[in-house]
Amino acid sequence: MDGGLHQWVLVVVCLMILVRSESFFVDITYVESAVAKGAVCLDGSPPAYHFDKGFGAGINNWLIHIEGGGWCNNATTCLARKSTRLGSSKLMAKQVAFSGIFSNKPKFNPDFYDWNRIKVRYCDGASFTGDVEAVNPATGLYYRGARVFVAIVEDLLAKGMSNAQNAVLSGCSAGGLTSILHCDKFKSLVPTSAKVKCFADAGFFINTKDVSGAQHIEQFYNDVVTTHGSVKNLPQSCTSKMKPGLCFFPQNMVEGIQTPLFLVNAAYDSWQIKNILAPGVADPHGLWHNCKTDINKCSTSQLQVMQDFRTAFLGALSGVQNSATKGYYINSCYAHCQTEMQETWLRDDAPMLNGKNIGKAVGDWYYDRSPFQKIDCPYPCDKTCHNRVFE
């Protein structure tokens, strides 16, 4: 083996050891009792989660974190989803790795390591908002996400969350949107004596035009809400004022949320750049392909379009910025979901904003040690980012 290859193998082995030391595997739990309530995945299978029990001083503290994974907006896309882990618990991995906000080590997760930490699997396709009683025999699709949310919370209440002193609803991506949309609902379901707050990681999806000038995401969300019958599970403070599909956007309903809420988001959210700003349908010649894969490959004009996206994103945050009960950590990274991985949650080389890693800022805000409402300078000023590179 030549020297260069030997060094490369050594680096890979060291990285694998590091990742292993920073994470551990947790078994799946199926909520079989939910089936009788009609609280099921798209294919009718029971909902599921992964639960690592709290210990010591954290035994009555609960972190419920919702998995991400986009949405399905009609029978065709939901049928395709039904035959994946995002539509059926029969196809979910039996174990998932816990790290970052899920870590059970004080070094990696000082404020939540000893809490009951639950990762809720996502299998309804509408951020847990759907509730359609009828099941079309032709498709066999169940749109029951809102029932699943309640059934999972009830199951956890029966497993000790009824004694909760602290409770957090969090999530990443579509799960982050869930934690925004269901924040007040979650508070109403847990004991009134508990301190309850919500975190959303990469869940602040904005309503903006794509590069072709079309309202692509607005139409998509409208279809999601219509297909899944979500209107009755969206905040009434919003649906009384505008079309239900618009209430799937946090910018239109976040002001009405009473429960304290913290947003972690990249201003150049890689999922939103790829799917809201420059979706394939708006870029038929693939001019954005390289840029979406790696921000370093963006042209000057593409970077300007992304700076305009950041401006729109910050404008959409206005409902959060004047609130004493809300916090936010908006960095200038090309990233999506930064709380579930140790390297972006809390580590010596993790992203920093105002001298704090994400894990420190979230912990300080939850425990009222210090508020945090910070927005990073524009790209490429932040040298602490872990910018995503896609294959």
- The residues annotated with a catalytic role in the active site are 173, 269, 336
Length of the chain: 391
131 exposure class (CB count in 10 Å sphere: 0-12, 13-18, 19+): buried
Burial 154-165 (b: 16+ CB within 10 A, else e): bbbbeeebeebe
Strands 24-30 vs 95-98: parallel, antiparallel or unpaired: antiparallel
- Let me know: does 37 contact 146? Beta carbons within 8 Å: no
Between CA 382 and CA 385 the distance in angstroms is 6
Q: Which of 148, 203, 164, 155 is nearest to 60 (CA)?
A: 164
Torsion angles phi and psi, residue 215, rounded to 5: -90, 65
Q: Taking the CA atoms of 120, 19, 334 and 351 in sequence, report the sign of the dihedral they define.
A: positive
Q: Which of 251, 260, 270, 273 is nearest to 337 (CA)?
A: 270
Between CA 298 and CA 281 the distance in angstroms is 19
Q: Which of 218, 318, 227 is nearest to 276 (CA)?
A: 218
Between CA 338 and CA 333 the distance in angstroms is 10
